[in-house]
Amino acid sequence: MALEIRDDLADLFAGRDPFACALALEGDVYRDVKGRRTLRFGHGGRHYFIKVHQGVGWGEILKNLLMLKAPVIGAGNEYRAVRALEAVGVPTLSIAGYGRRGIDPAHQESFLITDELPPSVTLEDHCRDWPASPPPLADRRRLIRAVAATSRVMHGSGINHRDYYLCHFHLDLARMDTEPPLLYLIDLHRAQIRRRVPRRWRLKDIAGLYFSALDIGLSRRDLLVFIMAYADQPLRTALGGHRAFWRQVERKALRLYRKVHGREHRAHGGEWRASHGEGGP
């Protein structure tokens, strides 16, 4: 068994079975699906989120394995991903408690408690009206560079997200005008951690991010700014032998857009495909 409870929640769990306590918490339910429940609760004048996992069963595990997907069997995956991001300085959730018990992966019980984020807005909501009401150029570029920097540090540290969309970035409302703006990266329950992120998983993350940004009115130059910031190099060097990677990003993002929306997207005309070449980051 693993158990970690921060001091501000110690009295809530004192003398009780921590897993029974986690299950008994009451608050605003955000998600309640088979084997997993997420809710917001208050204690001691503060608010927290808890994700409780009660085992996915062997059927779900085998289904994922047959589809060549890594099954998510509990809160431990997100716990490790949050700690890994903390270690490299990427703002993310703040852990207030974690527990895990059981050896059988199909029936393992676990929970993760995190602090409620400071007042913030998702980038999906923040950028939704950009096509009709474009923000100042400097503000847009600061956000683009901040997202690219998060992507670079995350991937460079061996972490890939697997659900990498604008909705999983939260912009701190009190730090919108700072340089860089403060972005929290959340929803890490499917993240993977290795010594080095394979090319295919970098591609999946960046294509997912681009897909989620296709309708916010980014210009050709905006996309090139992202490439430079992601590589942390001048454009000529950033593209180098990696043009094939960016072409694949665009193709994958457009395929996902077609799948989700049932229609073709008015593509940017190949902004990510500056010229011919092979290779990838």
Which residue numbers are catalytic?
163
Q: What are phi and psi of 42, to 5 degrees?
A: -115, 150
Question: Token pair 């939260």 is at which residue?
Answer: 170
Residue 201 near residue 243 (C-beta atoms within 8 A)? no
Strands 46-53 and 36-43: antiparallel
DSSP lists the bridge partners of residue 3 as: 99
HSE-CB at 30 with a 13 A cutoff on CA atoms is 9
Q: Which amino acid is at 96?
A: A
Q: In sequence order, what are the residues at sequence separation of 6 or more whose Cβ sits closer than 8 angstroms to the Cβ of residue 65?
A: 71
